[in-house]
Amino acid sequence: MAKARAPGRKKTAFGAMLIVMLGFFLFMAVFLLPEYGAYQNKQVSDYYLEHGLEDTGSPSIVNAIVWDYRSYDTLGEEIVLVAATIGIVLLAGRRFL
């Protein structure tokens, strides 16, 4: 039976360096984030609330934002969902249907 070889010192040092770098970047990402809401653009949300009914004719401000103001973004999301569904059906084959 063949003996399992221990990883070399270079591989171990490289792995340790990678783990330290990942830890550093995670620290930076978590602890140096701005406060919640620091970059909110109040002008846009105020405009949506004040002009939503007259611009879109929709009494629901949520529907007005999703389907009228951000319609291209929503269309892109729907295309991604349809593509994912088609991919799942194709991967599953006839057993899925």
Residue 65 has a CB neighbour count (10 Å cut-off) of 19
Q: Which two tokens stand for residue 42?
A: 């109040």
Q: Could you please report the per-residue DSSP string of 8-74?
A: PHHHHHHHHHHHHHHHHHHHHHHHTPPPTTTT--HHHHHHHHHHHHHHH--S-HHHIIIIIITHHHH
Report whether pLDDT(1) > 60: no
Question: What is the pLDDT confidence band of residue 9, given thresholds at 50, 70 and 90?
Answer: confident
6: confidence class by pLDDT, cuts 50, 70, 90: low
- pTM of the full structure: 0.44
